[in-house]
């Protein structure tokens, strides 16, 4: 699987949500999304199951949070920086 990275850490709401949803729509079958964010996007978490995705949260290297999102039917990406 190949990561697609999206840094929304400097954007003001609702732009992080708008960009995350757009990136998920464009996500290839062999890709997963890694979002760099300064806070946890709880409203996004609530939408993910209905869109066919799962997620996990990890500490980011350059931001407070990295949210890793992948398709429910696919394998969970390995944890990493």
In-domain check, residue 77:
no
In-domain check, residue 11:
yes
> Which structure tokens are listed for 34?
């890694």
In-domain check, residue 78:
no
The values of phi and psi at residue 53, to 5°, are -125, 160
Coil, strand, or helix at residue 13?
Answer: coil
pLDDT in tens, 10-41: 999 999 999 999 999 999 999 999 999 999 99
Which residue range(s) make up the domain with 62? 2-71
pLDDT-derived band at 73, boundaries 50, 70, 90: very high
> Which structure tokens are listed for 40?
């946890």
Domain count, the chain: 1
> Which structure tokens are listed for 38?
């300064």
Query: Which run of H or E residues covers position 48?
Result: helix 42-51
Residue 64 is predicted with a pLDDT of 93
């Amino acid at each position: 699987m190949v990561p697609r990275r999206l840094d929304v850490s400097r954007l003001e709401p609702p732009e992080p949500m708008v960009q995350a949803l757009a990136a998920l729509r464009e996500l290839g079958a062999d890709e997963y999304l890694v979002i760099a964010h300064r806070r946890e996007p709880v409203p996004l978490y609530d939408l993910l199951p209905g869109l066919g995705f799962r997620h996990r949260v990890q500490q980011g290297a350059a931001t407070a949070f990295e949210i890793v999102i992948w398709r429910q039917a696919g394998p969970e990406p390995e944890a990493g920086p």
